[in-house]
Amino acid sequence: MSDASDLTNRALGGDRRALARLLTLIENQGAGADEALARLYPQTGGAHVVGVTGAPGCGKSTLVNQIALETRRQGQTVGIVAVDPSSPFSGGALLGDRIRMRDLAGDEGIFIRSMASRGSLGGLARATGDVVKVLDAAGFDVVLVETVGAGQSEVDIAGSAHTTLVVQAPGMGDDIQAIKAGIMEIADIFVVNKADQPGADATVMLLQTMQRLGRDEPRTDRRHHGTRTLAAKTPPAESGWVTPIIQTVSTSGEGIPELVAAVRSHWEYLNCSGLLRAREEARVAREFELLLRERLLRDLLGRVAPGYLEQTVARVAAREVDPYSAVREFIRAGCQEVPA
Amino acid sequence: MSDASDLTNRALGGDRRALARLLTLIENQGAGADEALARLYPQTGGAHVVGVTGAPGCGKSTLVNQIALETRRQGQTVGIVAVDPSSPFSGGALLGDRIRMRDLAGDEGIFIRSMASRGSLGGLARATGDVVKVLDAAGFDVVLVETVGAGQSEVDIAGSAHTTLVVQAPGMGDDIQAIKAGIMEIADIFVVNKADQPGADATVMLLQTMQRLGRDEPRTDRRHHGTRTLAAKTPPAESGWVTPIIQTVSTSGEGIPELVAAVRSHWEYLNCSGLLRAREEARVAREFELLLRERLLRDLLGRVAPGYLEQTVARVAAREVDPYSAVREFIRAGCQEVPA
């Protein structure tokens, strides 16, 4: 039996150290990673995946810890995936983990994984999806995915959750900027954290106003974008759910039980309304597109002659050829080789 | 002569209305867009592309306006590309434009373009690159690219500029979060905006500390990431440039001449040190990878039978097949068809 498949068996059997090693293997796309993912895929689909996103400084990490603790109190197990644009000083993710461990240590029902940013566009989204699948297959009831908001890739990651929490804090940025952040429309639940600070009521009112405005506009559900082909498969408007606005103080735990109750209501709503299936298909469609892109590029680069890529790039940089023609030429060259 | 090629000629000849229409055509990847881009590509390479990034609320838009006005005062023409994670209420980009137009209206030497977020991962980065190329070819001396910071795609967009400004404001978020933002390492110039507000000195000191820390660490230049193959082509460490920290008050214009002078110094530094060429090649390499990904996917989807994609996605969603095997199968099916 290969290392990866042995690791997979042990991880699915509840061995935490094996789980951690399997996640590292998969994050790094090491030998046997694809096979391990293929093997555990049939075991997925049981977890409630909850995305938590918001701008830096809104208190997301503490909030996620509190949600985890409250969810545990109610008897469910929790996986946490903290997606972290990589720190220049590389210790960033580890530091976050250590602060977390202090609060959540010693509970076998909680597993925490921090992810640093992958190099390439889409790489982080793919890796996060893979890690979520592993935790899902390992049997965690709830998987919390924490992302730093505002960016497109973070919206993409958060948007692939079943339930998305958008966290705001009073007085952060000005109002137009908040509207611009583009994360409003993916919210299933709004959280106004630091609700004991001045300006919390104003933030709640702003969100209410935006909700009213939003209802008058045709809803474009960014959760379901992708290529034109895939985007056609958009589920019906989710008119049955009114996004609640919940105030919390994550440092004291105020509002956390209400928030966890809202998260659970949304899960019940998705299950009862049949929307879960639609969201799942949209999520799979998007993930499939990501995988296709990665695999196509990898295959092509594996087929062209060594140095050909560098030569082509140098010619484009020197303006000897435009990038659009160069791409066509490059693909043609790759296709003349025999596929592996 | 086709519409697109006529439009390109007029846009390059200085017709602003034609320029606006050409940009729309290219943003939407309309008929003739690729040909137009291929045609104007040899005219590119003259503009100094300056990225401006920072968290929502740090005053970026006003700062960009001020930089544009000061650059104009010094006799150069300016294109502005405002990259905006799309507003749920679609008027976002337009509103931003209108506020801008009030300040910058009536100056033929300034051209402003707001871009909303594209649907797919990487789509926004590609579209932004295309718009920058058009403005470059149209002869603007400086092209300012404004992005909302913190996300991976924003880092990618900002990182493709020749000179990147990272804007901070006093008291935004806590310190660890700021370090985590992952945009520090792409900064060629730090700007502490709203420098008249309390806490500005502390922000400057924090940046200085981080710079010192950063110097002790091996520099990983995220500007040059990509696939493993492309990343190998990393330019030498840019040890000759010490990232200045410049304080501004964008509402009053304080510090703006110093900032514009620093931007220009960096441009001179890049030109004299020969680093410009290295950055250009790294930028081209990354753009080439993006184009390859998009084109490969488009080609494949054009070759498979109608409905096959949807069937495959449904099978994956139903856990009948795992996504990794499904992707391999899908590519094999596409390759058996005759390429167009």
For B169, nearest residue in chain A (alpha carbons): A173
Chain B positions touching A326 (Cβ under 8 A) are 288
Amino acid at B297: L
pLDDT of residue A220: 44
Token reading at B267: 């441009």
A71-89 pLDDT tens trace: 999 999 999 998 765 433 3
Determine contact, residues A122/B126, Cβ cutoff 8 Å: no
Amino acid at B49: V
* Residue B177 and residue B231 in contact, taking contact as beta carbons nearer than 8 Å: no
Q: Do B56 and A277 touch (CB under 8 A)?
A: no
Cα of A238 to nearest chain B Cα, Å: 15
Q: Which of B58, B273, B263, B65 is nearest to B165 (CA)?
A: B263
Q: Give ∠ CA A317-B34-A282 in degrees, rounded to 5.
A: 105
Rounded distance between C-alpha atoms, residue A37 and residue A20, angstroms: 14
Residue B180, C-beta contacts closer than 8 angstroms, at least 6 positions apart:
A56, A84, A85, A87, A92, A96, A148
Per the model's pLDDT, the better-predicted residue between A91 and B185 turns out to be: B185
Q: How far apart are CA A295 and CA A194, in angstroms?
A: 43
Residue of B144, B185, B126 whose CA lies nearest to B52:
B144
Q: How far from chain centre, in Å, is Cα B287?
A: 11
Give me the mean pLDDT over the A119-143 stretch: 83
Contact A95 B56 (CB under 8 A): no
pLDDT at B199: 85
Closest to B254 in 3D by CA, of B60, B63, B56, B55: B63
User: Residue B252 class from Cβ within 10 Å (0-12 exposed, 13-18 middle, 19+ buried)?
Assistant: exposed
User: Residue A180 above 50 pLDDT?
Assistant: no
Which of A180, A221, A308 is the best residue to mutate to test the B interface, defined by the most B CB atoms within 10 Å of its own CB?
A180
- Of the candidates A227, A292, A299, which has its C-beta nearest B330's C-beta? A292
- Between CA A306 and CA A154, with CA B291 as vertex, the angle to 5 degrees is 115
Judged by CB atoms closer than 8 Å, whether chains meet at A156 and B37 is answered as no
Q: What is the ipTM of this complex?
A: 0.76
Interface test with A, best of B152, B184, B308, B335 (most A CBs within 10 A): B152
Closest CA to B151 of B115, B121, B119, B107: B121
Provide, as residue numbers in chain A, all residues whose Cβ is less than 8 Å from the Cβ of B229: 301, 309
Predicted pLDDT of residue B236: 42
Top-confidence range, A24-33, A148-157, A255-264, B79-88: A255-264
Contact A71, A40 (CB under 8 A): no
Contacts of A340 in chain B (CB under 8 A): none
CA nearest to A299 within chain B = B331
Q: How far is B253 from chain A (nearest CA, A)?
A: 20
Residue A105: CB partners within 8 Å, gap ≥ 6? none
**A229 has pLDDT over 50:** no
State the smallest CA–CA distance between residue B122 and chain A in angstroms: 6
Residue B259 distance to chain A (closest CA, Å): 23
Picking from B121, B175, B223, B250 by the largest number of A CB atoms within 10 A of its own CB, the best residue to mutate is B121
Which residues does chain B have within 8 Å of residue A251's beta carbon, measured at their own beta carbons? none
- Predicted TM-score of the model (pTM): 0.69
Q: Please tell me the least confidently modeled range out of A210-224, A266-280, B247-261, B274-288.
A: A210-224
Range of lowest pLDDT (A146-160, A244-258, A264-278, B209-223): B209-223
Chains A & B: contacts with CB separation below 8 Å: 297
pLDDT of residue A101: 56
Please tell me which of the candidates A151, A300, A314 has its beta carbon nearest to residue B281: A314
Contacts of A91 (CB under 8 A, 6+ apart): none
Domain A44-275 has CATH 2.60.40.420: no
Cα distance between residue A283 and residue A276, in whole Å: 10
- Render each residue's pLDDT in chain B as its tens digit; 340 residues: 578 899 999 999 999 999 999 999 998 888 899 899 999 999 999 999 999 987 767 888 889 999 999 999 999 999 999 876 543 333 344 445 555 556 676 788 999 888 765 554 456 777 888 999 999 999 999 999 988 654 555 556 655 789 999 888 887 644 444 444 455 667 899 999 999 998 898 888 888 877 776 655 444 444 433 333 333 333 444 468 888 999 999 989 999 999 999 999 999 999 999 889 888 888 888 889 888 988 898 889 988 988 999 999 999 988 999 998 999 999 998 876 544 4
CB contacts, 8 Å: A84 with chain B: 180, 182
For A295-325, how does the pLDDT look when each residue is reduced to its tens digit (9 = 90+)? Answer: 898 889 988 988 999 999 999 988 999 998 9
Nearest partner of A306 among B282, B293, B229, B233, judged by Cα: B229
Contacts of A226 in chain B (CB under 8 A): 119-120
Topology at the third CATH level for domain B44-276: Rossmann fold (3.40.50)
C-alpha A167/C-alpha A175 separation (Å) is 15
Q: Which residues of B touch A296 (CB under 8 A)?
A: 293, 296-297, 300, 331
| Cross-chain residue pair B152–A182, CB shorter than 8 Å | no
Q: What is the 3-state secondary structure (H, E, C) of B98-120?
A: HHHHHHHCCCCCEEEEEEECCCC
Give the residue from chain A lying closest to B213, CA to CA: A89
pLDDT at B82: 86
The better pLDDT of the pair B183, A50 is held by A50
Q: What is the pLDDT of residue B30?
A: 86
Candidates A152, A301, A331: best to mutate against B (most CBs of B within 10 A) is A152
Query: ∠ CA A103-A108-A112 to the nearest 5 degrees?
Result: 55
pLDDT at A218: 45
Non-local (6+) Cβ contacts of A10 within 8 A are A18
Q: For residue B161, how many other CB atoms are within 10 A of its CB? A: 24
CB contact under 8 A, B296 and A301: no
Q: Does B292 contact A297 at a Cβ distance shorter than 8 Å?
A: yes
pLDDT of residue A177: 46
CA triple B63-B88-A276, angle to 5 deg? 140
Please tell me whether residue A113 adopts helix, strand or coil conformation. Answer: strand
Shortest CA distance from A281: residue in chain B: B317
CA distance A44 to chain B (A): 8
Cross-chain residue pair A317–B122, CB shorter than 8 Å? no
> Are the C-beta atoms of B297 and A227 separated by less than 8 Å?
yes
Residues of A in contact with B34 (CB under 8 A): 324
Tell me: pLDDT of A231 over 50.
no
Which run of H or E residues covers position A89?
A: none
Q: Does residue A147 sit in helix, strand or coil?
A: strand
Structure tokens, B283: 């930028």
Every domain of chain A and the residues it spans: 1-41, 44-275, 304-336
Q: Nearest-CA residue of chain B relative to A184?
A: B88
Report the residue from B95, B313, B335 with minimal CB separation from A285. B313
Q: What is the rounded distance in angstroms from the CA atom of residue A174 to the CA atom of residue B95? A: 14
Question: Residue B96: how many CB atoms within 10 A of its CB?
Answer: 19
Give the separation between CA B250 and CA B193, rounded to whole angstroms. 7
Residue whose entry in the numeric block shows the structure tokens 């973070």: A154
Collect all residues of chain B within an 8 Å Cβ-Cβ radius of residue A130.
Answer: none
Burial group, residue B220, by CB count within 10 angstroms (0-12, 13-18, 19+): middle
Chain center to CA of B270: 19
More confident residue, A217 or A274: A274
Q: What is the pLDDT of residue A42?
A: 92
Confirm if A260 and A67 have CB atoms less than 8 A apart: yes
Between B45, B56, B121, which is nearest A180 by CB? Answer: B56
